[in-house]
Structure 1
Amino acid sequence: MNPEITVKARWIERAGRPWFPVSGEIHFSRLPRGRWSEVLGHARAGGVDAVATYVFWNAHEPEPGQFRWEGNRDLRAFVELAAEHGLGVVVRLGPWAHGESRYGGFPDWLVARGLPVRTNDPAYLELVRAFYAETIAQLTGLAHHEGGPIVAAQVDNELYDRPEHLAALRDLAEELGLDVPIWTATGWGGAQVPDSLLPVYGAYVDGFWDDSETEWPSFGPVHFRYSEVRDDLTVGADLREALDGVEAGTARARPELPFATCELGGGMHVAYHRRPLVAPEDVAALALAKIGSGSVWQGYYMYAGGTQRVGQRGTEQESQATGYPNDVPALSYDFHAPIGEHGQIRAHHHLLRRQHLWLREEGHRIATMTTTIGGGSDDPEELRWAVRSDGHSGYLFLTTYQPAKRPLAAQPGVQLHVEFDDGTVTVPSRPVDLPSGVSVAWPLHYRLTPDLELRSATAQLVTRISDDAGELVVLAAHDNVPVELVVDGVDGVKVIEPDTAPGPACVIDLPGVRVLILDEPAANRLYRLPVAGRDRLVLSDAPVYIEGGDLVLHPDTSRSTIAMLPPVTLSGAGEPRDEGLWRTWEVAAPDAGTRIIAADLRPEHGPPPPPRRGGPMDRLSAPVDYSGAARLRVDVPDSAFAADRTLLRVTWTGDTGRAFAGGALIGDHFWHGRAWDLDLTPHAAAIAVHGLTLELLPWRRATGVWVDPSVRDLPDGITVDAITAVNVAKIRLRPEPA
């Protein structure tokens, strides 16, 4: 049996110990089944300990009474595989999901019946009962109390004014046999959540659902300062206004419940009319700000992107044609997530992992700490700071970060005096200039050994581990912030400034403990993985995870480096070299690498189609007329398919693009400033026979599409800077104890 999970007044407990969950959204039915293990492995290696997933009704009951659970619809297989990777599962049951799905995930046949959906209407509830019954049957034996991975369930989504219906959905699910320790409902938008459900919240850097005239949504800046406000009135606001004709109110304050999140933006989707450009640093700064604001559950949406399903009536994306305000891409649901639509590992996977390793080490303490918010107003000149403390120890949060569209200035001469039960800690001991664009969480009164305390540090705790030489505490320095450790022990208080620059070789020996201080690049390569029977630190150039006890690397270069401590023997990695604490290998991947297929193209095209508007909010509509598109045939050599995965990366400017292989649409893209990636691997046979064709529509600024200011100044037309084949290898290394 699994240890008991309970929701307390301010935090969640597992086995009687406070637990700080980290969950990430991964939609099994939007991923090829053959990639499930890879994506789940990366998520676990990224410090995620539970995966959340929608059960889209339209995917599983496309026709009344005809339920489908095969292939990548196999919910049970996905949950079981998550458990194999050591992940818990949060099942988002619906019946309405949103998720940028057609009719919010409702099947067409249900919509056609015209029932008062998302209510306690008996006819509607009977249909929900059948869907829930089939779903819950897939989960038999997998609930937490049965020894399975399912730790929580969410009913409906973004329902703000029908608490009686939300309560009825939980009752129905329990009646049908689903017994989980945590039941949730989304709390944003002023939602009225019944007492039987835990409200969970969201926070996004930007939103495709806002208007094209909006430079930055009003709640965007709020998420980059410390605040006790849990709600976000903008998430789903367009649907409330468009479908229900109402504006959101203010949520009832629930200080008696834990501050839990389920949708911290792991990136952002794009719509035709509005195409945000969310940076990895934006995601990481927002997430850390929520911890500084009192969060006790970090839940990300999305953690891994996917591809919209194609059903019996075509693609199943949200669109104006189905009554929604926005046209989104027909296939791509990449979301610029930490793990991309095609398995791309992005910078915020690494930035977030540093936070998650810290929460794994200290989350049980942080969850119980109260939050004091100091500077946190909308005044950009004010120092933004907060403290989480249990009265004896804690963390000081400081930030000078906002997205590039509205950056904050540096803060000169920063020094704070933090009150604890036994006195005041002054940090740093001497004032320090805090550069622009930095978010930190510095430890205060952190116990290194029974006799030694880190009174303060100007570096961030990442993790701690032991080897044959004893305890090793790992900190990460910040660029352009000098490292200072104030250590209090039997010999009094000492201020230590390392002689060696931060990095894998920067080790400070203290009585009974060593402190490793990494620089930013090394910290972003650091993993903590179970290798050969124990946790080890891994520094890897290539994305890495554990599968079946093996280390699995996915390099996109022909050579990469991996290092480990404590050392092991790695079969298949060549001869190692020992460098200080680390044992290092050079790993060859001859099939990996990039090749340019075409470059510097200015393809001929006709005029763009006239702008159209539609939907309930009269927004710009995605083009359907491609008669004026540039058509590029891309000759992909057979040798490009030698690796595990072949991505085609199109670096271009224009409006929208579509990719075809043998007449079949295999990808689409609304240009927004980033390259367009296509996974060619599943289509290799069709491409070998028919080739690959790109249809590109030209950019026309007068159309009025919103793109980020950093990429807005571009000429009308189409440019293709490069078309590149990116070969991603899969290297499996078998570890054995050294």
Structure 2
Amino acid sequence: MTHDALPVARPAARTLRAGTPEPARRGHLAFGDPEGAPDRIEVTSRWLERDGRPWFPVTGEIHYSRIPRERWSEVLGHAAAGGLTSVATYVFWQAHEPVPGAFRWDDNLDLRAFVGLAARHGLEVVARIGPWAHGEARYGGFPDWLVESGVGTRTNDPAYLERVRLLYAQIAAQLEGLTHADGGPVVGVQIENELYDQPEHLATLREIAEGLGLHVPLWTATGWGGAQVPDTLLPVYSAYAEGFWEESETQWAPFAAFHFRYSDVRDDLTVGADLREALDGIVLDPEAVPLKDDSALPFAMCELGGGMHVAYHRRPLVTARDVDAVGLAKIGSGSIWQGYYMYAGGTQRVGALGTEQESHATGYPNDVPSLTYDFNAPIGEHAQVRPHHHLLRRRHLWLHEDGHRLATMAPVVGGGSDDPAELRWAVRTDGRSGYLFLTTYQPVQRPLPAQPDVQVTVAFDDDEVTVPTVPVDLPAGLTTVWPLRYPLADGLVLRSATAEVLTSIADDAGDLVVLAAAEGVPVELVVEGRVPVGGAGRVTTSSVSDDEATVIELTAEPGPACVVELPGVRVIVLDRASANRLYRLDVAGRERLVLSDAPVYAEDGGLVLHTEEASCTVALLPAPAYLTAEGAEVAAGVDDGPWRRWALVVPAAGSRTIAAGLVPEAPAPPEPVRGGPMDRLSAPTDFSGAAQVVADVPAEALAGVDRALLRIRWSGDVGRAFVGDRFVSDHFWHGRAWDVDLTPYAADVVEHGVRLDLLPWRAATGVWVDPSVRGVPDVVVIDAVEVVRVARVVLSPGRAAPGTRRRT
């Protein structure tokens, strides 16, 4: 079915029984802290607990060894502001022991320093200690010397285990005193990665690590692909919207549609199937995969696709809305731990033998870029903040607010087969309250239709809730979650709402709850009982009895100043754009809500912004009397409903075009070549016949700014960037702009410029790109080359007289 022939949705009565879930089983799993431990972490059959309270962690993958050490704090700051509670990170063996016995933990290999810095940003850590990692690294992160030694890797071969003990001893030493048992930030360890048929080996690896002093409450292993995970490790799962590892003839990855629906099935047998076959010789028969006792284990995610990498033969264009929709679908399906791969991109390492990416040359089925590992993650390779950072932050604000209740709620799927005309919906419930999940979203390859006359009745143990009170039309492309019997304040229950819960806070006037309107759906709030309503709300007539509930509609458009006044609480209903600008941060010693046009995080009681724009606004609630700024001009604050808003002028930020409208000729592009174990298209290595363009960058474009990016808007096949003779970046064109960080090479850039070696697009080669960007000409086209100046602004509350304008 093509996207120009949408199915027709069929209205239907929708009722679901949402009774009390089975009690959680305890004491049967080999994870968690011992009884009596401080801040005890416990793993039940249905959720995680912390100090006796249900806990819903949010983890994002960030590879310290692929990010310049001077950028660690910025990336971790944005990750914390994005609502992560922890970061996961691979410990790549090849980076740390390039020569047998000569371990390195210096510069951006300093694992201990990275963990400590994460803790300073309020983040905990899950260490993915291998020994085999994958991560699109050469030999899965194994050192070349280990591969060449002939030992039986990824098995209990004694010679291999001897080398593993040396590695694990080094890691344990790096993490000494930093584990949860010692009051530190390391709460979990993942053993190996994507190992499907060696459960005894996985169990042995945990025994070795613990024997060397590494003690954590959470021990995990990847569980997808029918993996045989021993009962000493918690299986964790993946969900991607697309995959570069599919064939170039595949128009949409066959596993993708499943991840946009609600389901009680956790596993996916197709993700990474090419690697299983190529490296391990395993071809799974879905009928032969052993069943897992999922009722004994909570549903935890570790690799929700935060974006998607590209290979030479196949280059997906995963969007921010794809990422958000998959993540919310997994919460609706019962996830109790959201983990993203990747959350921040990076750059492939260069070792003594060259770049360390996976490739046909090292036996992999895919050629990936030599340097860039951007992954189109929420935070990019050069700390660019992407739209899905904001979409995911909305979900994480909600999990921070109500995750302790949501974690105990069991999923019940109301509808959503593979029939695209059927409404996809589910409920998570504790038997008396819950959340209703609804989606009409799927990528452009297989879009879903709008759903007319939607109304759902959820039968709890003691009552039924019908939402909305009058059927509404759901627009196509919507993914949302609505509260059912949500406690707003003491004695006041939000029976239902056609809006999302974001967060809550208190100011001098009392408590505030923040909701977000669902795009294209009128906001209806239904409060249990008869209550007075003021502000931007009014009581409307309804089929619901006045004694049973008060039905409220808005008298103002959703936005920061849309405040509904109820007994004991005010409800702010934000529009979509404002909700995507919302943060909850510690500013000047207290939690505050922040609305910011520019990416922002908290540091030392103030706010740090990174912006490409010469002007932006920031609003706070509760607001300090005034703000001062380093790196910007800040005007006096203006009150806007319960917020105070400041306008900033940032002279250092902005973009400058240095070239445009170029069609450089590539005199002799190489012929296509195939390789690797699955005979896929190989990345070109001969650039002698490439088009060459030198971008001359004036010194003033690089001076006086935190970071300068060269942004190339182009179409073609493969590009490489050089500063002098130094290879600094590469790009497999897939429809997005190509960013090159010029900051580390600024002096050489001014002297030499940036040389771009560019190969032309040739449709006949058979490389797969997204349908939305196909049809480009069989040449190199450069629409524009820009220098993007990213400025750093530090905002501090209360350090100047009100109304003062200051520029530093």
What is the TM-score of this pair, normalised by structure 2?
A: 0.90
> Contact 1:451 / 1:490 at 8 angstroms: preserved in 2?
no
Match of 1:252 in 2: 291
> Whole-Å Cα distance in 2 between the matches of residues 350 and 323 of structure 1?
38
Match of 2:352 in 1: 312
> Whole-Å Cα distance in 2 between the matches of residues 307 and 91 of structure 1?
19
Q: Which amino acid aligns with 1:357?
A: L
Q: Which amino acid aligns with 1:680?
A: L
Residues 1:336 and 2:376 are matched in the alignment: yes
1:456 to 474, 480, 496: 496
Q: Which amino acid aligns with 1:170?
A: R
Gaps of at least 5 residues in structure 1 are none
> Contact 1:23 / 1:262 at 8 angstroms: preserved in 2?
yes
Q: Which amino acid aligns with 1:368?
A: T
1:122 to 144, 158, 176: 158
Structure 2 SS opposite 1:571? strand
Alpha-carbon distance, 1:549 to partner:
2.2
> Whole-Å Cα distance in 2 between the matches of residues 656 and 179 of structure 1?
46
Match of 1:601 in 2: 662
Q: Which amino acid aligns with 1:512?
A: G
Residues 1:518 and 2:554 are matched in the alignment: no
Match of 1:689 in 2: 751
> Whole-Å Cα distance in 1 between the matches of residues 434 and 78 of structure 2?
30
Residues 1:709 and 2:771 are matched in the alignment: yes
Match of 2:473 in 1: 433
Q: Which amino acid aligns with 1:122?
A: P
- CA deviation vs aligned residue, 1:26-53 (integer Å, no higher than 9, x gap): 0000000000000000000000000000
> Whole-Å Cα distance in 2 between the matches of residues 449 and 57 of structure 1?
52
Structure 1 SS opposite 2:295? coil
Structure 2 SS opposite 1:192? coil
Match of 1:576 in 2: 637
> Contact 2:260 / 2:441 at 8 angstroms: preserved in 1?
yes
Alpha-carbon distance, 1:571 to partner:
2.3
Match of 2:694 in 1: 633
2:171 to 135, 139, 146: 135
Q: Which amino acid aligns with 1:300?
A: Y
- CA deviation vs aligned residue, 1:386-427 (integer Å, no higher than 9, x gap): 000101110000100001111100000000110111111010
1:219 to 239, 255, 258: 255
2:597 to 541, 555, 558: 541
Structure 1 SS opposite 2:756? strand
> Contact 1:203 / 1:265 at 8 angstroms: preserved in 2?
yes
2:214 to 163, 175, 178: 178
> Whole-Å Cα distance in 1 between the matches of residues 508 and 794 of structure 2?
27
Q: Which amino acid aligns with 2:584?
A: R
- CA deviation vs aligned residue, 1:477-502 (integer Å, no higher than 9, x gap): 02211100011135431111100000
> Whole-Å Cα distance in 2 between the matches of residues 89 and 268 of structure 1?
23
2:674 to 610, 613, 617: 613
Match of 2:7 in 1: none
Q: State the identity as a percent.
A: 67
> Whole-Å Cα distance in 2 between the matches of residues 243 and 179 of structure 1?
31
Match of 2:445 in 1: 405
Q: Which amino acid aligns with 2:665?
A: E
> Whole-Å Cα distance in 2 between the matches of residues 95 and 267 of structure 1?
25
- CA deviation vs aligned residue, 1:643-666 (integer Å, no higher than 9, x gap): 100011100000000000010000
Q: Which amino acid aligns with 1:565?
A: L
> Whole-Å Cα distance in 2 between the matches of residues 712 and 154 of structure 1?
40
> Whole-Å Cα distance in 1 between the matches of residues 708 and 473 of structure 2?
45
Q: Which amino acid aligns with 2:773?
A: V
Q: CA RMSD in A?
A: 1.1
> Contact 2:126 / 2:187 at 8 angstroms: preserved in 1?
yes
Alpha-carbon distance, 1:509 to partner:
0.4
Structure 2 SS opposite 1:586? strand
> Whole-Å Cα distance in 2 between the matches of residues 476 and 725 of structure 1?
36
Correspondences of 1:148-159 after superposition (within 5 Å): 148-159=184-195
> Contact 1:231 / 1:251 at 8 angstroms: preserved in 2?
no
Match of 1:562 in 2: 618
> Contact 2:255 / 2:271 at 8 angstroms: preserved in 1?
no
Q: Which amino acid aligns with 2:41?
A: I
Alpha-carbon distance, 1:562 to partner:
0.2
Q: Which amino acid aligns with 2:422?
A: E
> Whole-Å Cα distance in 2 between the matches of residues 712 and 115 of structure 1?
46
Match of 2:66 in 1: 30
- CA deviation vs aligned residue, 1:575-603 (integer Å, no higher than 9, x gap): 21112111111122100001111111111
Structure 2 SS opposite 1:252? coil
Residues 1:54 and 2:90 are matched in the alignment: yes
> Whole-Å Cα distance in 1 between the matches of residues 798 and 388 of structure 2?
31
> Contact 2:711 / 2:788 at 8 angstroms: preserved in 1?
yes
Correspondences of 1:48-87 after superposition (within 5 Å): 48-87=84-123
Alpha-carbon distance, 1:2 to partner:
5.3
Match of 1:301 in 2: 341
Residues 1:700 and 2:762 are matched in the alignment: yes
> Contact 1:102 / 1:322 at 8 angstroms: preserved in 2?
yes
Alpha-carbon distance, 1:236 to partner:
1.9
Structure 1 SS opposite 2:502? strand
Alpha-carbon distance, 1:334 to partner:
0.1
> Whole-Å Cα distance in 1 between the matches of residues 313 and 503 of structure 2?
43
- Runs of 4 or more above 4 Å deviation: none
Structure 2 SS opposite 1:504? coil
- CA deviation vs aligned residue, 1:183-238 (integer Å, no higher than 9, x gap): 00000000000000000000000000111111111110000000111112122211
- CA deviation vs aligned residue, 1:368-389 (integer Å, no higher than 9, x gap): 0011001121000001100001
Structure 1 SS opposite 2:592? strand
1:501 to 557, 570, 579: 557
> Contact 1:187 / 1:199 at 8 angstroms: preserved in 2?
yes
> Whole-Å Cα distance in 1 between the matches of residues 63 and 414 of structure 2?
38
